[in-house]
Chains A and B, each alone.
Chain A
Amino acid sequence: SQKIEQNSEALNIQEGKTATLTCNYTNYSPAYLQWYRQDPGRGPVFLLLIRENEKEKRKERLKVTFDTTLKQSLFHITASQPADSATYLCALDIGYGNKLVFGAGTILRVKS
Chain B
Amino acid sequence: DAEITQSPRHKITETGRQVTLACHQTWNHNNMFWYRQDLGHGLRLIHYSYGVQDTNKGEVSDGYSVSRSNTEDLPLTLESAASSQTSVYFCASSESSGNTIYFGEGSWLTVV
Instruction: Verify if A101 is at the interface (C-beta below 8 Å from B).
Output: yes
Bound together, the chains give a CA A31 to CA B98 distance in angstroms of 8
Question: In the complex, how many residues of chain A place their beta carbon closer than 8 angstroms to a beta carbon of chain B?
Answer: 27
The reply to whether B97 and A96 contact each other, CB–CB distance below 8 Å, is yes
Residues of B within 8 A of A96 (CB): 97
Binary flags per residue of B11-44, CB closer than 8 Å to A gives 1, else 0: 0000000000000000000010101000011111
Question: In the complex, how many residues of chain B place their beta carbon closer than 8 angstroms to a beta carbon of chain A?
Answer: 27
Within 8 A of A (CB), among B74-105: 90, 92, 94, 96-105
Instruction: Verify if A99 is at the interface (C-beta below 8 Å from B).
Output: yes
The reply to whether B98 and A104 contact each other, CB–CB distance below 8 Å, is no
Bound together, the chains give a CA A105 to CA B42 distance in angstroms of 7
> Out of A4, A95, A98, A104, which one reaches B101, CB within 8 Å?
A98
The reply to whether A100 and B97 contact each other, CB–CB distance below 8 Å, is no
Residues of B within 8 A of A97 (CB): 31, 48, 50, 96-97
Bound together, the chains give a CA A4 to CA B45 distance in angstroms of 14
Within 8 A of B (CB), among A32-52: 32, 34, 36, 41-46, 49, 51
The reply to whether B42 and A98 contact each other, CB–CB distance below 8 Å, is no
Which secondary structure characterizes the binding site on chain B? strand
Residues of B within 8 A of A21 (CB): none
Residues of A within 8 A of B92 (CB): 43
The reply to whether B97 and A98 contact each other, CB–CB distance below 8 Å, is yes
Given contacts A97-B31, A104-B42, contact A42 B105 (CB under 8 A): yes
Interface centre among B48, B92, B101, B105 (most CB of A within 10 A): B101
Residues of A within 8 A of B41 (CB): 104
Bound together, the chains give a CA A89 to CA B32 distance in angstroms of 19
> Out of A43, A51, A103, which one reaches B103, CB within 8 Å?
A43
- Nearest-neighbor residue (CB-CB) of B101 within chain A: A98
Binding site for A on B (CB under 8 A): 31, 33, 35, 40-45, 48, 50, 58-59, 90, 92, 94, 96-106
25 pairs from A and B in contact (CB 8 Å cutoff): A31-B97, A32-B97, A36-B103, A43-B103, A43-B105, A44-B90, A46-B100, A49-B98, A49-B100, A89-B42, A93-B97, A93-B98, A97-B48, A97-B97, A98-B94, A98-B99, A99-B48, A100-B33, A100-B43, A101-B45, A101-B59, A102-B43, A104-B41, A104-B42, A105-B42
